[in-house]
Structure 1
């Protein structure tokens, strides 16, 4: 079985993206496969876990009643579930998505101070992800976009610790904001202010080779070289490269070392492994165990390498 055949032997959320990004299938074939995400596999299972109020596990960022006394961060609340549904490719105008987003807009409140869900809260890492899913699912998040643009730091990126005095950006926060601004731009056409903010954030990452400290050249965090799925708020170089690919960026020489990190992780059989699972409560396991071949990492790596080498 070829690697592409192995990917196509996966579930609908994988298959439709393989058909579009690796096979070059006809648009109608891609659309028909994508429509199955609402009805089958991981997408259908996540939709089935939605509460009657439209929220997942009773909360926005954290489950209802969460006390912080469990290992890892719970990934079952609304923000993480909506992000995963977006990555799986749930059609934003399908009936299940329209119902869910309307209920989240009506009932969702942030744990911070009870802000309405799509108004966001105070942390740009959370607000970037809210912009991302909001724009994808057709919600007006322009006021939140204006807020995060106004919070961009002098070095070009963003940091959730800025409200506590930090003046240096964070890789994790920056990728969350960049993905949100990109989705907003794709959904609405954006503005020069949005494009300028994205360029600043991109330059922040590129100046650091996507994973090194600008001052010393050291690897910022070893975990940035491990590829997880789902990634939630966590940064890694595969996520960053896939962002640049989706943004239609020209390959930059400063990405070369990060691309090589991706390339060397591929074993002889051509299937990238799952390097990491971010600990915490989940609705159900997606993919296998750490070290096993990962369809998601393989799909993302193949399309990143195809883009970079084109």
Structure 2
């Protein structure tokens, strides 16, 4: 892939948060070049815009998981709001804000001092009570240099017998959820990237991966039928929801970290990903979650999406490169 490729040129004609990842993952630009582009996330485009939405105490919208003054009718009538601290931090991580930059360091320090979970009142970096929320807290905390080992230990202890996780566990669920499992896996992977992980966290990540792999990333184990039609539709931003592209991007990152080959059981999901490519080489945004946001980062449902296209292209580049070696 080169900058003269029309799809690459389209991806580069965008925000710094996309450009630096294209440079690193698709066109193999020298590290000094993509790092310089990544640094712009703090001061330009979507990253700077989201940072400017912070409150003086380091939070977003006055709350940890929910905006201050949240009315449950909003969720019922308009969808879950996505403007509070947890989702804003996760979006900055997706943008690739440098954890070492001044605004990142100051933000996580202020959050630690001032943010408390609505459920239980715990300090933000101590974690909440639900697996999905704690998983994202682990991913964000590990990425931004916070010690989240106690939350990691808790997540490892909350695995279900089938190897994955379900945030409905405390309400009696004994089967893992695709969505909860991918959230936890991403958190454990970020923790492993940052610290090397622990024996327990690596074992937990292995059983969670197996949960998804033995289901080909989207099928019910018992019947072989798709567990949810939306798993085969491409979503952005993912928030806490699941689709196969999110899972494939996770398995790519996992394999790169550990130096392992792609698992053949990813093949059916890879084939579906290829089948959804548009004639012009791009991929569409199939759907997005309703609810309050600070601003949009895609051009709308059914339109080609730079975020979906970036992730799809880097997954296929990784998969095809390994296949050619084999």
TM-score (norm 1): 0.99
Deviations 1:137-190 (A, max 9, x none): 000000000000000111000000111111100000000000000000110111
Match of 1:275 in 2: 286
CA–CA separation in structure 2 for the residues paired with 1:7 and 1:295: 6
Provide structure 1 residue ranges, at least 5 long, that are not aligned to the other structure: none
Q: CA deviation at 1:250?
A: 2.2
Q: Give aligned pairs, total.
A: 310
Q: Which residue of 2 aligns with 1:135?
A: 142
Q: How does 1:78-93 map to 2 (within 5 A)?
A: 78-93=85-100
- Between the aligned partners of 1:262 and 1:216, the Cα distance in structure 2 is 22
Q: CA deviation at 1:297?
A: 0.4
User: Which of the residues 42, 46, 49 maps onto 1:45?
Assistant: 49
Matched residues in 2 for 1:228 and 1:156: separation? Answer: 25
**C-alpha separation between the residues in 2 aligned to 1:60 and 1:27?**
35
Counterpart position of 1:24: 28
TM-score, L = length of structure 2 = 0.94
In structure 1, what is the Cα distance between the partners aligned to 2:233 and 2:85? Answer: 25
Please tell me whether residue 214 in structure 1 is matched to residue 218 in structure 2: no
Partner of 2:311: 300
* Equivalent of 2:240 in 230, 233, 242: 233
Cα distance in 2 for partners of 1:258, 1:108 equals 39
SS of equivalent to 1:140: coil
- Which residue of structure 1 aligns with residue 120 of structure 2? 113
> How is 1:3-14 mapped onto 2 (pairs within 5 angstroms)?
3-14=7-18
* Superposition map of 1:86-235 within 5 A: 86-235=93-242
Distance 2:273 2:118 in 1: 37
SS at match of 1:121: coil
> 2:324 aligns to what?
none
CA distance in 2, matches of 1:195, 1:110: 27
Partners of 2:174 and 2:302 lie apart in 1 by 37
* Matching residue of 2:320: 309
SS in 2 for 1:160: coil
Uncovered stretches (5+) of structure 2, i.e. residues with no partner: 322-326
